[in-house]
Amino acid sequence: MHHPSLPASGTRPVMIEVFGEPVGVVVPAESGYRFMAVRLEAFGVDGEHYASLEAARAGVSAAVAEANTAAA
């Protein structure tokens, strides 16, 4: 799966996908990145701050997997 990276300016949002579906975006924040959910199963981590894009992808993926397991 291709993961886009932030441009040099660091001002554009980056989409986060889980299981090939977009679940939100991360936007640059003071100390890393802030996640903004667009899918219900990702709202548990809406507004969370992450130190890196990789940490955001891992945290959001874990939260979505947990939400999907709880809903089943």
Rounded (5°) CA angle 39-43-47: 120
Q: Indicate whether 5 belongs to any domain.
A: no
Q: Indicate whether 7 belongs to any domain.
A: no
Q: Indicate whether 1 belongs to any domain.
A: no
Domain span including residue 46? 23-71
Q: Indicate whether 9 belongs to any domain.
A: no
Where residue 6 falls among pLDDT bands split at 50, 70, 90?
A: very low
Q: Indicate whether 12 belongs to any domain.
A: no
Q: Indicate whether 29 belongs to any domain.
A: yes
Residue 65: phi and psi, rounded to 5, are -60, -40
Q: How many domains, in total, are found in the chain? A: 1
Distance of alpha carbon 17 from alpha carbon 61, whole angstroms: 8
Q: Indicate whether 51 belongs to any domain.
A: yes
User: Could you say which DSSP state residue 2 is in?
Assistant: -
Where residue 4 falls among pLDDT bands split at 50, 70, 90?
A: low
- What is the value of pTM for the model shown? 0.81
How many other CB atoms are there within 10 angstroms of residue 46's CB atom?
A: 14
For 18-62, how does the pLDDT look when each residue is reduced to its tens digit (9 = 90+)?
Answer: 989 999 999 999 889 999 999 999 999 999 999 999 999 999 999
Q: Indicate whether 52 belongs to any domain.
A: yes
